[in-house]
Structure 1
Amino acid sequence: MFAVPRSSSPAPSSRATRNDVARLAGVSPAVVSYVVNGTKKVGPDTEERVRAAVAKLGYRPNPSARALRLGSTEMLGMVMPSVINPYFAQLAHEVELAASKRGYTLITANSDSSIATERTQLEHLAARLVDGIFLCSNVFEPDLRDLELASIPVVLLNHSAETPARDSVGVDLLHGADLAVEHLASHGYDEVGIVIGRTSGDEEDGREIGWRESVDRLGLTPGPVARGPFSPDGGYDAMRRLLRAGTVPRALFVSSDQMGRGVLKAAHEAGLRVPEDLAIVSFDGSVDAAYSWPTLTSVAQPLSEMAEAAVEALLGPPHEPRHLVMDTRLVIGASCGCGTLTGHSANR
């Protein structure tokens, strides 16, 4: 029999520890932590030895131990209605960037616009001991009592209404709708209809309220109202209903860029020219608006500013709950009739 030589390295099947790395590199466990976590500078030769030992042993820090030591998992959660909606995907990206600046990782979850699924996703994030949650809820007043009992702070993001005892960040939907209607009126349209998305709780959306108030203020004729889900299919079906009923107005305010894509498709299929036969202004200012044909004039939400404000509300100094309202701006495309002004931003 051959004798098996002893090694100071752990057996391949065992998990290397920080002490194993320290012994192999000839340093203290504290120095290993400095290098792995980037918390303190060490000499270049020392750092090279530690990193070589880490690579040889396949060392991976224990996240549970780190979380226990720091009193934080350094993870945040975000629940949104649809991760494939470009608006929410872009918003999540901005939140991830803002959280990363503070050393936090973001976990995203999809609720599929379902209140029950939203609650389940919140439970999953709580079980992972995240340090806080950004919730783009399907309802205006979500039930967050379980998270309160678990002492997990929540910021309601993409939230238009003030919620007592809760931080929230959103935009003034009424003002955004007014921007859209006023712009269509500036083109000479005296009747403006609306294609509006349905909320899960059936609450009246601020964009519809703003559309109605703006039409009244400007002395316009309120055009037809067509409803559907906040999706391309929702916009497509809503527009098809207007076409079948013969009630398509000359100008439409559409409550999201995703719905706007659907409206454009149905209009093209029916032989309607945009903007010659139908002028459109949508809402969100997402990539959908910029890459539709024609490009959609859209009321843009300031996603980067919203994300920064939400992260500050969650991770900043203690404060009384507050509702932060961001300004919208009109991004001019071709769907309203401005033509050569495509890509021009107009602030009000």
Structure 2
Amino acid sequence: MTPSAVQTSRGPVTRKDVARYAGVSTAVVSYVVNGGPKNVAPATEAKVREAIRVLGYRPNAAARALKLGSSETIGVVVPDNTNPFFTHLAHAVEDAAAELGFGMVLTNSDGSLTRERKNIRTLAARQVDGVFLASCVFDPDVSELEASEIPAVLLNNAGSPPGFNSVGVDLQAGARAAVEHLIGHGHTNIGLAIGTNTGNQLDGREVGWLATLREAGLPDGPMLHGPFSRPGGYEVGKRFLSMANRPTAIFASNDMQAIGILRALHEAGVRVPEDLALVSFDGSLDSEYSWPALTTVAQPVKAMAQAAVQALVGKSRGDELQHHILPTELIIRQSCGCK
């Protein structure tokens, strides 16, 4: 049978057209397309797949979702999809969801709470099976999630939000590890480059940096705020360099800031780590390929993604609410002074 004998003026190719072309029932076509529930002989499956290829058949996703009661799709909201950390995290979520048969729709709030809420409403309208929200604030307004009545997990969140599962890391402990390492190199004047957040809320990395200095009997180092970005880090780096008593080491709150700081230091002829040591936070791929390579506090991206996916659509779905706080790891490279 030729495609022209099947594909008529009626419009798109249907499951019946595929069945007629392959010489099987529509039920068999459904079993092949859906991977079950009944097994299909390999030779028969090959005929059906050949018919699908020749005819250009595309299953109706809306009809399938209605039948299954699931769109087999999850939504992800991130604050900045150009940030390598969130790119890596979204990729890990996509991989973990795919293992369970779910696709992913990624949206970017661009640091805007208004856009974040709009993205949640858009995903709810698309009837996704759940939402992962990496908010642009530490304590997000969950009213849109509650109003949407779809399951959600707060991602990259170290709090204990009522009514929702959450997955994050201990920011204070990560900062402590970074600052203690710099103190171990003999530094007593350690600055902090801290990112600005939409809600101007206290960042756990600032708390950990300050507490560690005070517990070591050291003076509070200089602290400068700037965007969580390479240009933000570049401007902060230049401001540190203009200080009369500039720090001998800097803890940067993310890798992008640290890379911007590196540029400012290189332009000024300041050697890293000989003249000024630098440790960052996140553990993105960029940190490994900067020069010098950044010592960084790495977040366990894969473990975060797997915990979040299991809570939303996996074996932990429907269990008692859990707030996963995962440990970070200090990755030692050259920017801190280690060889």
TM-score, normalised by the number of residues in structure 2: 0.95
Q: Is the 8 A contact 2:73 2:102 kept in 1?
A: yes
CA offsets 1:231-273 (integer angstroms, 9 cap, x no match): 0111111111122233420011110000000110001111110
198 and 247 in structure 1: CA distance in 2 versus 1, 3 angstrom threshold: farther
- The partner residue of 1:269 within 257, 267, 270 is 267
1:125 aligns with 2:154: no
Q: Provide the rounded CA distance (Å) in 2 between the counterparts of 1:128 and 1:213.
A: 45
Q: Is the 8 A contact 2:121 2:148 kept in 1?
A: no
Q: Is the 8 A contact 1:224 1:247 kept in 2?
A: no
- Map 1:68-107 onto structure 2 (within 5 A): 68-107=66-105
1:30 aligns with 2:27: yes
Aligned-residue sequence identity (percent) comes to: 53
CA offsets 1:151-208 (integer angstroms, 9 cap, x no match): 2111111112221221110000000000001000111112211010011100010000
User: How far 1:12 moved relative to its partner?
Assistant: 5.2
Q: Is the 8 A contact 1:80 1:88 kept in 2?
A: yes
Q: Provide the rounded CA distance (Å) in 1 between the counterparts of 2:139 and 2:328.
A: 23
Q: Provide the rounded CA distance (Å) in 2 between the counterparts of 1:149 and 1:117.
A: 16
Q: Provide the rounded CA distance (Å) in 1 between the counterparts of 2:147 and 2:282.
A: 34
Bigger mean CA offset, 160-169 vs 252-261: 160-169
Q: Is the 8 A contact 2:234 2:260 kept in 1?
A: yes
Q: Is the 8 A contact 1:226 1:239 kept in 2?
A: no
Look up the equivalent residue of 1:236 and give its one-letter code: Y
User: How far 1:8 moved relative to its partner?
Assistant: 5.2
265 and 33 in structure 1: CA distance in 2 versus 1, 3 angstrom threshold: same
- Map 1:1-348 onto structure 2 (within 5 A): 9-11=6-8, 14-39=11-36, 40-315=38-313, 316-339=316-339
SS at match of 1:221: coil
SS at match of 1:82: coil
User: How far 1:117 moved relative to its partner?
Assistant: 1.2
User: How far 1:141 moved relative to its partner?
Assistant: 2.7
Q: Is the 8 A contact 1:215 1:222 kept in 2?
A: yes
Look up the equivalent residue of 1:219 and give its one-letter code: G
User: How far 1:23 moved relative to its partner?
Assistant: 2.0
User: How far 1:139 moved relative to its partner?
Assistant: 1.4
RMSD, aligned CA: 1.4
Residue 345 of structure 1 aligns with which residue? none
Q: Provide the rounded CA distance (Å) in 2 between the counterparts of 1:303 and 1:27.
A: 46
Q: Provide the rounded CA distance (Å) in 2 between the counterparts of 1:8 and 1:241.
A: 73
User: How far 1:148 moved relative to its partner?
Assistant: 2.2
Gaps of 5+ in 2: none
Q: Provide the rounded CA distance (Å) in 2 between the counterparts of 1:148 and 1:191.
A: 46
User: How far 1:20 moved relative to its partner?
Assistant: 1.8
User: How far 1:48 moved relative to its partner?
Assistant: 2.3
Look up the equivalent residue of 2:118 and give its one-letter code: T
SS at match of 1:33: helix
Q: Is the 8 A contact 2:175 2:209 kept in 1?
A: yes
The number of residues matched between the two structures is 333
